[in-house]
């Protein structure tokens, strides 16, 4: 883990929840993330796209058995795991009343 670092990309509530789920769950299926968030495919995709564009998650489409459609699996990258951990550390510092530079 690096230094506590507030991360505007991760901090958005949906993206924070996604990163938390992936941090504890490893590789997670898109449908499970969507269901956990309680949002549409489009909303879930939008947040995953932002995380992917910032190098925090990988999206891996694999042949699936659901109606012949591919299944998308999502996982945190090493960079994403570090950014999430650093962000959580920053939030803990904020909650403890520590001043951040």
pLDDT band at 3 (very low <50, low <70, confident <90, very high): confident
Give the model's pLDDT for residue 98.
82
Domain membership of residue 100 (yes or no) is no
Domains held by the chain: number: 1
Whichever domain contains 17, its CATH number is 1.10.10.10
The answer for residues whose C-beta is within 8 angstroms of residue 63's C-beta and 6 or more apart is 70, 71
pLDDT band at 99 (very low <50, low <70, confident <90, very high): low
Domain membership of residue 47 (yes or no) is yes
Domain membership of residue 37 (yes or no) is yes
Residue 8: is its pLDDT beyond 70? yes
Which of 5, 26, 30 minimizes the C-alpha distance to 84? Answer: 5
Domain membership of residue 14 (yes or no) is yes
* Domain range enclosing 37: 8-95
pTM for the model stands at: 0.88
Domain membership of residue 34 (yes or no) is yes
Give the model's pLDDT for residue 1.
65
Domain membership of residue 30 (yes or no) is yes
Please write the tens of the pLDDT for every residue from 12-69. Answer: 999 999 999 999 988 999 999 999 999 999 999 999 999 999 999 999 998 876 667 8
Domain membership of residue 101 (yes or no) is no
């Amino acid at each position: 883990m690096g230094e506590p670092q507030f991360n505007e990309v991760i901090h958005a509530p949906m993206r924070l929840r996604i990163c938390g789920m992936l941090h504890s769950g490893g590789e997670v299926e898109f449908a499970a993330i969507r269901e956990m968030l309680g949002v549409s495919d489009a909303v879930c995709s939008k947040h995953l796209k932002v995380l992917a564009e910032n190098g925090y998650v990988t999206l891996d489409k694999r042949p699936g058995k659901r109606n012949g459609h591919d299944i998308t699996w999502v996982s945190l990258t090493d960079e994403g795991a570090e950014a999430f951990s650093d962000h959580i550390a920053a939030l803990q510092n904020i909650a403890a009343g520590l001043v951040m530079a």
